[in-house]
Structure formats: structure tokens, C-alpha cells
């Protein structure tokens, strides 16, 4: 098991934030997990440690939101996400992690800017299934690389006129499906070793506690406050990813 104090300091924050996000905030801040852990370990190792924890957390979320997702949206984004995972598997060893961070940061901040600048009283149009395939595929790809598929997926999800519960349930089931689908390619890429798996096991209880806390918060947050939290998460996530990516490319 990893015994670096810095790692455990950042890992506790990362797993707790991810659990709360998955349990009640639609995954909005879940993309923080790998970038925060990457402050202490290499990004591929951070992703490998997070994946088993995410899979266990998903079970708690499945129990709370099973059957509450939007079927029409799921029929589009799940197969698109699986295609993104295949692309991530085939290109993983040749990817530059800093460019991925820059891309995710720009997507997050660009979408936030779009929402803040839109005119009052103008209703946003629902995006087509083609857009869903595009953003679902990008989400599957970025989810595979860094478990940070939330911003791309939400570009499509936040204009689908879903109520709060359907939004959270659809996001949670989608990312849960993607996480379990990633287990085999992660094993094939030799990302799971004894050290990483033991570290994941030690973090599981914290992740489950965070997810249950997120479920509790979900029932106590009104819709306007809920989406403000999602937008704030976009800003924080996008800024963090963009800063880390640019800094990495310049050093």
C-alpha cells in the first residue's frame, strides 16, 4: 500500500468529494478525483487507484436512484460512451495527460460561459441525438483517461430539461456503467497491481460514506441551488484542469 502522507492527504479529499458528487450532485465535482491525486502520484496510477473505489461507490448510488433515469437519454449516451472507452483504450499509452487536462478545462469553462451569458427568457433548445453521441463519446474517452467525463456529458445533459432526480440518476447510471466497462481494459493495460488495489481497498469506506452524504444532501437542495452548485463545480473543475495542463506543457 502507498505510505506517502501527501498522497493520503489529497486522496481523502478526492474520494470524499467524488462520493458526495456521485451521491447527489450529478457528478459535477467528481472530475476532481484524479487531478487531486495526481499531485502526489502519476496520473495513470491515480486513475487506477480511483477506479475500484468508483465502482464500489456506484453500487450505493444504484440503490438510491435505480429506475429513475431518463431512458431516451440513456439509449444515446451509453453506447456513445462505450465507443469513447474503446478509443481511450487504444490510445491510452500514447496520450499526453497535460493536453487532456487543457481540453477538459476549456470544455468546462466554455460551457459555463455559455450559460452565464445567455439572455434571460430565451429557452435553450434541446440538443439532438447526434450531439448526444458526440458528447457521450467524448465523455467516455475522458472518463477512461482521468475519470473526468462530467463536463463533456453535461454539455448535452443540462439542456435536456430533466428534473433534478432524473438528471442525477441518468448521470450516475451512465458513469457507473462506464466505470465497470473500464475494468477489463485497465487490467489489460497493466494498471492494476497489488499496491494500487490495496490502496483502493483502504479508500472504499470513505467513498461509500461520501456517496451516502451526497444522497442525503440531494433531498435537501432546491433545484436552483442544485444547478448553481453544478455550475460552480464546472468553474472549479475547469480552472484546476486548465491550470494543471498549461503548467505541465510549459515545464
Return the pLDDT at 119: 46
Cα separation, 12 vs 48, in Å, equals 16
pTM for the predicted model, two decimal places? 0.79
pLDDT tens column, 135-178: 999 999 988 988 878 778 877 887 888 887 888 889 888 999 99
Compute the distance between CA of residue 163 and CA of residue 137 in angstroms, rounded to an integer: 23
**pLDDT score recorded for residue 236:** 79
Please state the rounded mean pLDDT for residues 22-30.
Answer: 59
pLDDT in tens, 124-146: 556 688 889 999 999 999 889 88
Q: What is the dihedral of CA 114, 133, 52, 164, to 10 degrees?
A: 50
Q: What is the pLDDT of residue 230?
A: 65
Q: Tell me how far apart the alpha carbons of residues 77 and 79 are, in angstroms, rounded to a whole number.
A: 6
Q: How far apart are CA 14 and CA 30, in angstroms?
A: 8
Question: Which position has the grid cell 462530467?
Answer: 150
**Average model confidence (pLDDT) for the chain?**
82
Amino acid at each position: 500500500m502507498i505510505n506517502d502522507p501527501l498522497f493520503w492527504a489529497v486522496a481523502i479529499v478526492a474520494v470524499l468529494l467524488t462520493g458526495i458528487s456521485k451521491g447527489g450532485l450529478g457528478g459535477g465535482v467528481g472530475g476532481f478525483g484524479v487531478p487531486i491525486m495526481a499531485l502526489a502520484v502519476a496520473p495513470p496510477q491515480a486513475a487506477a487507484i480511483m477506479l475500484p473505489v468508483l465502482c464500489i461507490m456506484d453500487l450505493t448510488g444504484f440503490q438510491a436512484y435505480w429506475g429513475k433515469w431518463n431512458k431516451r437519454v440513456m439509449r444515446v449516451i451509453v453506447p456513445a460512451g462505450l465507443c469513447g472507452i474503446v478509443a481511450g483504450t487504444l490510445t491510452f499509452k500514447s496520450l499526453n495527460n497535460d493536453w487532456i487536462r487543457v481540453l477538459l478545462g476549456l470544455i468546462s469553462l466554455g460551457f459555463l460561459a455559455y450559460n452565464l451569458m445567455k439572455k434571460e427568457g430565451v429557452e435553450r433548445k434541446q440538443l439532438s441525438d447526434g450531439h448526444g453521441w458526440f458528447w457521450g463519446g467524448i465523455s467516455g474517452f475522458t472518463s477512461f483517461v482521468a475519470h473526468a467525463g462530467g463536463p463533456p456529458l453535461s454539455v448535452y445533459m443540462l439542456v435536456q430539461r430533466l428534473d433534478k432526480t432524473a438528471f442525477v440518476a441518468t448521470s450516475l447510471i451512465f458513469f457507473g456503467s462506464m466505470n465497470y466497462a473500464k475494468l477489463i481494459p485497465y487490467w489489460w493495460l497493466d494498471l492494476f497491481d497489488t499496491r494500487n488495489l490495496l490502496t483502493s481497498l483502504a479508500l472504499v469506506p470513505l467513498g461509500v460514506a461520501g456517496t451516502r452524504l451526497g444522497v442525503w444532501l440531494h433531498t435537501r437542495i432546491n433545484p436552483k441551488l442544485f444547478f448553481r452548485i453544478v455550475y460552480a463545480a464546472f468553474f472549479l473543475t475547469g480552472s484546476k484542469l486548465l491550470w494543471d495542463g498549461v503548467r505541465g506543457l510549459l515545464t
